[in-house]
Structure 1
């Protein structure tokens, strides 16, 4: 039983839990913002969340703190945070719904493929480079949109286009890998 407690309370897992706790804090700051400072604080929360996402993976690998619960907690924290950002931004930016749809299609597709592969006793072990790049681009672009809500439509649309491109690229490359894994005999 002590082993399980040690597995739960690793630094990477604690960082993932902090990211989950930050989601309602971010949403509250963003939806109740009545000054530019409130939007900047919401942006800093997202920036902090993105940095902890990066750091928890580095710590987990470097200090051999990769745990089964962490393999579940980290992606859940990522997806919940990203979904909260997108749904908050949908209220302010006209074309954000396109990014929401791309995000949902990508994530639901990955869930579907992971379930299919688990049934074949196969699994994708961790995020691949294009997933990491897509996540970094997402956090960068969305943090700018959160912290600077009065940016021009042209800049906002450009940031959404960049985010959408990397979401789509990640979706296509992951799908290619999943199909290959599904079709392979080993």
Structure 2
């Protein structure tokens, strides 16, 4: 059984950093500083890979981290998708797929919390969809940066990424229904108890 460590650890710090990086990314990209925006996005992608590696390697799993990780992914992906769609309106259909997918997952997470169940933790298929997302959008940004944007190439990459996002949604839906029906203590969560623990830790 994996040990639940304190919330103040390296993986959670990396996750919070990824959430914060959304702001400078959007400011840079929407104001034409594409090179700087690409660097910020690459750093965000590295934190996404590193937080999971550190958590697994040093056994630094926390319930807070399981909640924050998918939220930070959604914030980053949303910022990138919106920014690119503003500069390239042809990407709006992909943005709609992304918005629908994330809204469904957000509602599903809220339903689980209301039922006293833990939201679905990030899975390999979700991470794979995230990696493809980063690769696709960094590639499009590089095309922007070097002024050789090709709509056909962008469309193919976006279709592949969209297909994996839809696959991830289907697999997460299966996990959602499993957790919803589960009586396993590992799938249960008590938010009031979590808040009490947090208050006790602050007093210590």
TM range (shorter): 0.7 to 0.9
Question: Is contact 1:17–1:77 with CA below 8 Å preserved after alignment?
Answer: yes
Question: Is contact 2:66–2:122 with CA below 8 Å preserved after alignment?
Answer: no
Report the Cα offset of residue 185 of structure 1.
Answer: 7.0
Query: How many residues are treated as equivalent by the alignment?
Result: 177
Q: Which residue in 2 is equivalent to 1:169?
A: 167
User: Structure 1 pair 108/73, CA: closer, same or farther in 2 (3 Å)?
Assistant: same
Computed over aligned residues only, the root mean square deviation of the Cα atoms, in angstroms, reads 2.2
| SS of residue matched to 1:26 | helix
Question: Is contact 1:7–1:69 with CA below 8 Å preserved after alignment?
Answer: no
Report the Cα offset of residue 138 of structure 1.
Answer: 0.6
User: Structure 1 pair 152/179, CA: closer, same or farther in 2 (3 Å)?
Assistant: same
Q: Distance in 2 between matches of 1:185 and 1:29?
A: 47
Question: Is contact 2:70–2:122 with CA below 8 Å preserved after alignment?
Answer: no
Q: Which residue in 2 is equivalent to 1:94?
A: 89
Question: Is contact 1:42–1:147 with CA below 8 Å preserved after alignment?
Answer: no
TM-score by length of 1: 0.83
Query: Which 4+ runs in 1 deviate beyond 4 A?
Result: 183-186
Find out whether 1:67 has 2:65 as its counterpart: no
TM-score by length of 2: 0.77
Structure 1: stretches of 5+ with no match in the other structure: 1-5
User: Structure 1 pair 74/158, CA: closer, same or farther in 2 (3 Å)?
Assistant: same
